[in-house]
Structure 1
Amino acid sequence: MSNPNKQRTRGVLLVNLGSPESTDVGDVRTYLREFLTDPRVLDNPAPIRHAVVNLFILPSRPKDSAEAYEKIWTEEGSPLIVISERVTELLRERVDVPVELAMRYGNPSVKSALRKLASMGVDDLFVIPLYPHYAMSSYETAVAKVKDELAKLPFRMDLTFQPPFYDDPAYIDALVDSAKEYLEQDYDHVLFSYHGVPERHIKKGDPSGCYCLQTADCCRKKNPVHGMCYRHQVHATTWAFADKAGIPPEKYSLTFQSRLGRDPWLTPYTDKTLERMPSKGIKKLVVMSPAFVSDCLETIEELGMEGREDFLEAGGEEFHLVPCLNDHPKWIDVLEKFVREFEEGALVDEHPVIPQP
């Protein structure tokens, strides 16, 4: 039995998505298998999910993905891992508790990070999933992974999770500051491109089954389901950013990228929108991807290379991609603020979970 008078030892765990170990096709295949067999990413029943992954995706996709990773790989390794490690070090300099980094898929693993924190005596752990918005395929799976791994280990910790921070004023301020130099230039339009999710993921987060995606303005009307609605939350980030930066409604729009498979995903699609914009008079474009806090394959290659090419080939003249928050000082300020709030007991740890098949 634990001693209620024992002094608790706090610690912090940052959790990001992950990356293959290298650009080798085998390493990419290993990474994709772990990622795509997660029931919160591909949420079909297990037999269907494993058949789709092993028969239709893994035979060919790893080679294409490996070629894409080769375009962005640095001498230090995967940009997402390198940036996340740098952010971890910067946060360590700001706070007086142990801080470790883990990836939902790949390394450093959640299990190894928990073991390391436990070896430092941590028994009161604050987990920050590095996702501003609630989605079952990002935020929720990170929360579930930490809980599942801890349950298998021979020690116990109290867990507190940072809630999604999509409309946190400090996060919005950091985003605006990171884009300042791009917004001070002459531009026709700002495109906010968010990672897409299947429409069924949004509907699963609606217990009533009759609100989300039922009307064009469902994201604007206040509703309790917004706490688990990725679509509402990315719109809320966009509205808050535009208001803070003074961007009029006609000069910005929101799209979704990175769809997979044939099921309906959230629209409008980023790639199709980029191809149409020049014909509508949008020649000078600023692009942001606020769903990612660290630059990665989806931002550097999908947007910065493929998206740029699509826009320019369609008649666009200037394409400016705003980097993710990465190690921006104001982003480190935000993370420090979250840790201070945890230390002060200001967080409410409530996490509804979307039922899995």
Structure 2
Amino acid sequence: MKKGVLLVNLGSPDSPEPKDVKKYLGEFLMDERVIDIPLIARTALVKGIILKTRPKQSAAAYKKIWWEEGSPLIVLSKRLQNAIQKDVEIPVALAMRYGSMTIKKGLQELVDKGVDEVLLFPLYPQFAMATTETILVLAEAIQKEFFPNLKIESVPAFYNKPDYIDVLSNSIKKHLEGKQYEHILFSYHGVPERHIRKSDVTKSHCKIDCTCCVTPSKAHEFCYRHQCLEVTRLVAEKLQIKEGAFSTSFQSRLGFDPWLQPYTDRTIERLGKNGIKNMAIVTPAFVSDCLETLEEIAMEGEEIFHEMGGNEFTTVPCLNDDSEWVALLSKWINNWTVSKTQTV
């Protein structure tokens, strides 16, 4: 069997123009694993309310961070793909969960190269309904309908793999070298609290309190909150950050239902009010910089911090195409290739 890899990231509008942003947001927000309410209610909310106002606001945000080469997320993902391809012998394709670079196109690209066994690699360190799960479910549906002879194996969440923690920690250390900061904030993409409970395979463990995420359980395999807190703990331990000099928060919420807390914007505000003058922020839920990291964190977050009296606001870039990150992904892919060959 000929093997190949499909890297899958979130996606992006084709341009920062409102019409393209509206099309992208429509696909994204109508995903039942993103807004997990009944179809009728979801349609009324998304098409009847959100898409009437949000596209213009989001388009303005995209225009702030759009590069000459295109969407930063797409450009950086392609750079990662190209760098990995130089280190591995099997074909490496790239797809997005939303937008024009579809998973179907990515699989077709590999099939056209003779691939009949694919390693599906969601580019998310932590598992979540709205990220990893929606990729896996869609890929399975596409495989059954269009590529019945194609075998697909997926990469599980890698949030606690020691070599990933090493690479992430080294990147943070490198970008903070020479910087003065009193506090480092680990900000993760937010999800509704109900997503955590829905992902609980035990149906009883997740209480979203101060104890469940640190109490061993099978639920942790699919618990986004636990996995985020664990990344923070492992990196802080690796970098020997003192207790009290770091914290975890969650960014980007939508609607009025409770989302994971504490919220990033309010945490930045609180740190400034409490007299923190120099802070750093890292976003380990993403491996590629995107609208959330470049605009919501690096621009809006810094503005909030300065308004609260803060001075230095240092944003640590995502791993992007960092050489150590490329080497690690290439190693994982090569190990998979060897293991499958040995199994055959």
TM-score scaled by length of structure 2: 0.96
TM-superposed CA distance for 1:213, in Å, is 2.2
- Is 1:29 matched up with 2:22? yes
Q: What is the alpha-carbon root mean square deviation over aligned residues? A: 1.2
Distance 2:240 2:216 in 1: 23
Q: Secondary structure at the match of 1:286?
A: strand
Distance 2:175 2:110 in 1: 40
Distance 1:107 1:84 in 2: 14
TM-score scaled by length of structure 1: 0.93
Distance 1:22 1:183 in 2: 32
Within 5 Å, give how 1:275-290 maps onto structure 2.
275-290=269-284
Q: Secondary structure at the match of 2:244?
A: helix
| Larger displacement relative to structure 2 (161-170 or 173-182) | 173-182
Q: Which amino acid aligns with 1:200?
A: R
- Is 1:99 matched up with 2:110? no
Q: What is the match of residue 354 of structure 1?
A: none
**How many pairs does the alignment contain?**
339
Q: Which of the numbers 170, 176, 187 marks the counterpart of 1:177?
A: 170
Distance 1:120 1:224 in 2: 39
TM-superposed CA distance for 1:152, in Å, is 1.8
TM-superposed CA distance for 1:179, in Å, is 1.4
| Larger displacement relative to structure 2 (333-342 or 216-225) | 333-342
- Is 1:252 matched up with 2:246? yes
TM-superposed CA distance for 1:337, in Å, is 2.0
Q: Which amino acid aligns with 1:134?
A: F
Q: What is the match of residue 323 of structure 1?
A: 317
Q: Secondary structure at the match of 2:27?
A: helix
Q: Which of the numbers 297, 308, 311 marks the counterpart of 2:305?
A: 311
Distance 2:147 2:334 in 1: 29
| Larger displacement relative to structure 2 (9-18 or 148-157) | 148-157
Q: What is the match of residue 328 of structure 2?
A: 334
Cα distance, 1:292–1:214 mapped onto 2, change above 3 Å: closer
Asked if the contact 1:182/1:286 (under 8 Å) is kept, the reply is no
Cα distance, 1:28–1:214 mapped onto 2, change above 3 Å: closer
Cα distance, 1:214–1:236 mapped onto 2, change above 3 Å: closer
TM-superposed CA distance for 1:341, in Å, is 2.7
Distance 2:207 2:302 in 1: 30
Asked if the contact 1:12/1:99 (under 8 Å) is kept, the reply is yes
Structure number with the higher helix fraction is: 2
Q: What is the match of residue 125 of structure 1?
A: 118
TM-superposed CA distance for 1:214, in Å, is 5.1
Distance 2:22 2:95 in 1: 20
Distance 1:142 1:136 in 2: 9
Q: Deviations over 1:256-309 (max 9, x none)?
A: 000011000000000011111122121100100000000000000000000000
Asked if the contact 2:277/2:312 (under 8 Å) is kept, the reply is yes
Distance 2:171 2:208 in 1: 35
Q: Secondary structure at the match of 2:314?
A: strand
Distance 2:272 2:292 in 1: 22
Distance 1:54 1:345 in 2: 47
Asked if the contact 1:304/1:321 (under 8 Å) is kept, the reply is yes
Distance 2:202 2:166 in 1: 34
Q: Secondary structure at the match of 2:89?
A: coil
Within 5 Å, give how 1:59-138 maps onto structure 2.
59-138=52-131
Distance 2:158 2:297 in 1: 24
Distance 2:272 2:60 in 1: 29
TM-superposed CA distance for 1:9, in Å, is 0.2
Q: Secondary structure at the match of 1:249?
A: coil
TM-superposed CA distance for 1:310, in Å, is 0.2
TM-superposed CA distance for 1:169, in Å, is 1.2
Q: Which amino acid aligns with 1:343?
A: T
Distance 1:10 1:182 in 2: 36
- Is 1:237 matched up with 2:231? yes
* Percent identical: 48
Distance 1:251 1:154 in 2: 50
Q: Which of the numbers 221, 225, 228 marks the counterpart of 2:219?
A: 225
Distance 1:214 1:281 in 2: 29
Distance 1:95 1:101 in 2: 15
Q: Deviations over 1:151-185 (max 9, x none)?
A: 22155211111110001111111111111234433
TM-superposed CA distance for 1:342, in Å, is 1.4
Q: Which of the numbers 184, 190, 195 marks the counterpart of 1:190?
A: 184
Q: Deviations over 1:100-149 (max 9, x none)?
A: 00000012111111111111110110011000000000011111121111
Q: Secondary structure at the match of 1:59?
A: helix
Which sections of structure 1, spanning at least 5 residues, go unmatched? Answer: 1-7, 347-357
Q: What is the match of residue 264 of structure 2?
A: 270
Asked if the contact 2:202/2:218 (under 8 Å) is kept, the reply is no
Which sections of structure 2, spanning at least 5 residues, go unmatched? Answer: none
Q: Secondary structure at the match of 1:219?
A: helix
